[in-house]
């Protein structure tokens, strides 16, 4: 790899210095320890992409910091990413900084929303992203560190420090990391990226301003309409946020619904009609463990504040 011309400022420390404490002292963490971004670690991270370190991907609001490839790589190091994860993080940054996503608003709102990532395509398997058991939980390095890198970028480059420019009344655990993959192989429907015009062989990341997941339990109904009625009753509550809604449907619920002849468009239409919502605002994906009749509902920030964006992952 050619000699890197570093764009970011370094911090001189003695050999006895605890580098993790330096990161804490400079406000570079999310509250948990981070991997110190030493020059050699950042150089190894940059080997994961063909892009030049000084390429500007975007400025990051609300302080409009320079989101160069190098600075994104620094935060990926701190999050614990492998170099091969870096193209996913870069694509996610492209998504969250698109105009329709409205990252500036998301960063400073009193709402609890945070960028949620949904990964589609072959890269799910290449990077061993979790799309099954405990898909929203702990245990998978790729999910945990890719989502965490995006959060660190929002804070360290964007400047959205909690209690300062980040004015979230509550927040939620997804503000540490919020990254899942779609379980395409067990779905009876087209995966999200194909719905949005990409080829099955292409890999993408979808970014969505997501609130905390809402668990919907239906172990009793064995018909599509029965399960969908349970979902709709769980959603049609006072205070429910208008705008985009992501439904993450378990494989068991998916099979029952699809076996009754419901297409994904049918599901979107049914939910829209029973929750006074636009069908285009209902996004349906399949994920989760093979056992358990659950669906997760994730409300967005509300129309027209933010729209989800799908971006192709390039090297």
pLDDT digits (tens, 9 = 90+) for 83-133: 999 999 999 999 999 999 999 999 999 999 999 999 999 999 999 999 999
DSSP 309: E
Question: Would 205 be classed as within a structural domain?
Answer: no
In this prediction, residue 8 has a pLDDT band, given cuts at 50, 70 and 90, of: confident
Q: Using CB atoms within 10 Å of the CB of residue 4, give its burial: 0 to 12 exposed, 13 to 18 middle, 19+ buried.
A: middle
Specify whether 51 is located in the same domain as 182: yes
Residue 304, pLDDT score = 79
Q: Can you tell me the mean pLDDT for 152-162?
A: 97
Helix, strand or coil, per DSSP, at residue 263? coil
pLDDT of residue 302: 81
Angle of helix 86-96 relative to helix 69-79, nearest 10 degrees?
120
- What is the band of 315 on the pLDDT scale with cuts at 50, 70, 90? confident
Look at residue 241 in the predicted model and tell me its pLDDT.
Answer: 77
Residue 160 and residue 264 share a domain: no
Asked if residue 274 belongs to a domain, the reply is yes
pLDDT averaged over every residue in the chain: 95
> The domain spanning residue 285 has which CATH number?
3.30.2320.10
Structure tokens at 229: 């009625």
Position 4 pLDDT exceeds 60:
no
138 φ/ψ angles, rounded to the nearest 5 degrees: -85, 170
Structural domain contains residue 307: no
246 with 283: CB under 8 angstroms?
Answer: yes
* Statement to judge: residues 169 and 219 lie in one domain: no
Q: Are residues 103 and 177 in the same domain?
A: yes
pLDDT at 2: 43
Region for 140 from its dihedrals, namely left if φ exceeds 0, alpha if ψ lies in -120 to 50, beta otherwise: beta
Stretch 255-276: mean pLDDT = 97
Q: How far apart are CA 176 and CA 29, in angstroms?
A: 10
The answer to whether residues 144 and 226 belong to one domain is: no
The average pLDDT across 178-205 equals 97
Direct distance between the N- and C-terminal alpha carbons of the chain, in angstroms, rounded to an integer: 16
267: domain range?
A: 214-299
Whether residue 183 sits in one domain with residue 245: no
Give a yes or no: residue 6 inside a domain: no
Local confidence band at 239 (pLDDT 50, 70, 90 cut-offs)? confident
Residue 12 is predicted with a pLDDT of: 77
Does 31 share its domain with 149? Answer: yes
The answer to whether residue 238 scores a pLDDT higher than 70 is no
Same domain? 114 vs 236: no
Residue 10: pLDDT over 90: no
CA 305-308-311 angle, to 5 degrees, is 140
E strand or H helix at 288? none
| Structural domain contains residue 8 | no
Q: What percent of the chain has pLDDT over 90?
A: 90
The answer to the question of residue 315 being in a domain is no
Give the three-class secondary structure for 26.
coil
Say if residues 121 and 202 touch (Cβ distance below 8 Å). yes
Confidence class for position 1, pLDDT limits 50, 70, 90: very low
Nearest to 240 by CA among 281, 284, 285, 300: 300
Length of the chain: 315
Q: Which of 161, 196, 231 is the last residue of a domain?
A: 196
Tens digit of each residue's pLDDT (9 = 90 or more) over 131-142: 999 999 999 999
Domain count, the chain: 2
CA dist 15 → 8, 12, 21, 126 (Å)? 21, 10, 13, 37
What is the arithmetic mean of pLDDT over 293-307?
A: 92
Verify that 189 and 236 share a domain, yes or no.
no
Q: Which has the minimum average pLDDT: 111-125, 170-184, 199-213, 291-305? A: 291-305
Task: Judge if 23 and 116 occupy the same domain.
Answer: yes
With respect to residue 27, please indicate whether it lies within any of the assigned structural domains. Answer: yes
Q: What is the enclosing helix (H) or strand (E) of 54? A: none
Considering the domain boundaries, does residue 208 fall inside one?
no
Tokens 């669906």, located at residue: 295
* Positive or negative torsion for Cα 295, 298, 303, 307: negative
In a shared domain, residues 89 and 179? yes
25 and 135 share one domain: yes
């Amino acid at each position: 790899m050619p000699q890197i011309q570093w764009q970011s400022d370094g911090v001189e420390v003695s050999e006895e210095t605890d580098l993790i404490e330096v990161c804490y002292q400079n406000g570079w963490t999310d509250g948990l320890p981070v991997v110190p971004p030493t020059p050699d670690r950042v150089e190894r991270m940059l080997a994961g992409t063909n892009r030049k370190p000084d390429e500007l991907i975007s400025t990051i609001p609300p302080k409009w910091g320079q989101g160069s490839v190098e600075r994104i790589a620094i935060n990926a190091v701190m999050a614990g990413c492998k170099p091969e994860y870096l193209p996913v993080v870069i694509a996610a940054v492209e998504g969250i900084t698109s105009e329709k996503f409205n990252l500036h608003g998301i960063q400073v709102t009193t709402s609890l929303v945070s960028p949620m990532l949904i990964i589609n395509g072959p890269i799910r398997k290449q990077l061993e992203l979790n799309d099954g058991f405990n898909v929203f939980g702990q245990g998978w390095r790729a999910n945990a560190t890719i989502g965490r890198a995006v959060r660190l970028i929002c804070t360290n480059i964007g400047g959205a420090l909690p209690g300062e420019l980040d004015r979230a009344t509550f927040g939620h655990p997804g503000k540490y990391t919020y990254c899942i993959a779609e379980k395409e192989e067990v779905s009876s429907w087209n995966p999200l990226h194909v719905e949005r015009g990409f080829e099955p062989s292409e890999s993408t990341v979808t970014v969505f301003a997501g609130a905390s997941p809402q668990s919907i339990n239906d172990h009793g109904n064995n018909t599509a309409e029965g399960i969908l009625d349970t979902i709709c009753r769980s959603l049609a509550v006072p205070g429910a946020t208008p705008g985009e809604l992501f439904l993450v449907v378990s494989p068991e619920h998916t099979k029952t619904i699809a076996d009754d002849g419901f297409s994904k468009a049918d599901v979107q239409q049914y939910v829209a009609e029973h929750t006074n919502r636009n069908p285009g605002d209902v996004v349906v994906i399949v994920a989760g463990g093979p056992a358990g009749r659950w669906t997760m509902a994730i409300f967005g920030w509300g129309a027209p504040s933010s729209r989800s964006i799908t971006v192709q992952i390039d090297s």
